[in-house]
Amino acid sequence: MMFQKRIEVDADMKELAILSGYPLLRSHPALLAAMIGEVSDGATEEQARGFFNAVGVRLAAMLQLTEIDDVDELVAQMNALWDALGLGRVSLELDDEGIDIIHSDLPAVLDAGDDGLWMQAAPHILEGAYESWFRSLGSGSALTTRLTRATPGLVELRHGY
C-alpha cells in the first residue's frame, strides 16, 4: 500500500525504525482535514464511522505487536506509534471484565479549518486501531472495543463485554 508503512520498535523502546513509506501523518494536517471533511460531507454517520474504523485498522497494521510479555510492553509499543504520528498517548487499565483505554494528548484539531471534524473522526479511528490490536493479541470474538467518552484531546474506550 502506497501510504502504509510498517513501524518496528527496537528492543530498548527508544527508537522507531520506519521501514518504508512517506512522511509521518502529522506532517500533513491540512490534507487530512480536507479528507475527513470530504468523508463527513458525503457519507452517512454509519458509513463515516465504518470508514474511520477501517483507517484505524490500517494504522494498527503499521505496528507489529511482537514479543509482548506484559501490559507495560504493550503500552510502550502502542505509544511509540502514537508518538511517531503525533497523536497522543495511551494508558490501559485492566480489570476482571475488560480493559479501559485512555488515549490522552490527542490533538484537538488538525488544522485551523477542520471545524471540529477531527474530533468527530479521531475516536472512531482509535476504536478501529485498538480493536485490531486486541484481536491480533487473541481477544475473543465476544469482546469488542467501543467508545465510552470523547472530549477535545481525550478519548476513552472500553475493550470487553
Q: What confidence tens digit (pLDDT) does each residue in 39-74 have?
A: 989 999 999 999 999 999 999 999 888 778 899 999
Domain count for the chain, please give it: 1
Any domain includes 128: yes
Residues 24 and 80: beta-carbon distance below 8 Å: no
CATH of the domain at 103: 3.30.1380.20
- Note the pTM of the prediction, 2 decimals: 0.82
Any domain includes 2: no
Any domain includes 63: yes
16: CB partners within 8 A, 6+ apart: 7, 8, 9, 10, 80, 81, 83, 84
For the chain, the helix, strand and coil percentages under 3-state DSSP, each to the nearest 5? 45, 20, 35
Any domain includes 74: yes
Count Cα neighbours of 55 within 13 Å in the Cβ-side half-sphere. Answer: 18
Beta-carbon neighbour count of residue 68 at 10 Å?
A: 14
Any domain includes 15: yes
Any domain includes 53: yes
Which domain does 139 fall in, by range?
7-160
pLDDT tens for each residue of 106-160: 998 877 777 888 999 999 999 999 999 999 999 988 999 999 999 999 999 999 9
Any domain includes 121: yes
Any domain includes 155: yes
Distance CA 31, CA 40 (A): 14
